[in-house]
A and B are shown apart, each in its own frame.
Chain A
Amino acid sequence: MQAFATLPSQTADLLPLGKARLRDTTQDGARALETFLAGVERKGFRIAQIALRHEADALDAVQDAMMQLAHRYASRPAQEWKPLFYRILENRIRDMQRRRIVRQRVMAWIPWQGEDDDGGDALEQAADNAPQPAVQAESDEMMRALEQALSQLPGRQRQAFLLRNFEGLDVQETALAMKCSQGSVKTHYFRALQALRAKLGDFRP
Chain B
Amino acid sequence: MNVEDMNEGTSDFERHVRELLNDSVERMPAAARSRLTQARYAALATRPFWQRSLVRHWAPAGAAAVLAVLLLVAPRGEHPAVSPLAGAMPDDLELLADGDALQLSKDQDLDADFYEWAAGEAQGAAAPSLGT
Contact = CB atoms under 8 A, between A and B. Distances in A.
A189 B43 contact: no
A63 interface: yes
Contacts of B44: 30, 33-34, 37, 70
B83 interface: no
A142 interface: yes
Interface residues of B, number: 39
Interface string B19-38: 11111110011001101110
B46 A67 contact: yes
* Interface of A: prevailing SS: helix
Nearest to B8: A186
B24 A143 contact: yes
Contact of A143 (B20, B36, B56): B20
A22 interface: yes
Interface residues of A, number: 49
Interface string A33-60: 1100110011101100000000100010
A21 to B, nearest CB: 9
Contacts of A43: 25
B47 A74 contact: yes
Nearest to A136: B27
Contacts of B36: 41-42, 45, 59, 62
Interface in B54-93: 54, 56-57
Interface of A: 19, 22-23, 25-26, 29-30, 33-34, 37-38, 41-43, 45-46, 55, 59, 62-63, 66-67, 69-71, 74-75, 126, 139, 142-143, 146, 162, 165-166, 171, 186-187, 189-190, 193-194, 196-197, 200, 202-205
19 contacts: A26-B56, A38-B37, A42-B28, A42-B33, A45-B36, A46-B21, A59-B35, A59-B36, A66-B42, A67-B42, A67-B46, A70-B47, A74-B47, A74-B51, A126-B29, A139-B20, A190-B3, A196-B17, A203-B17
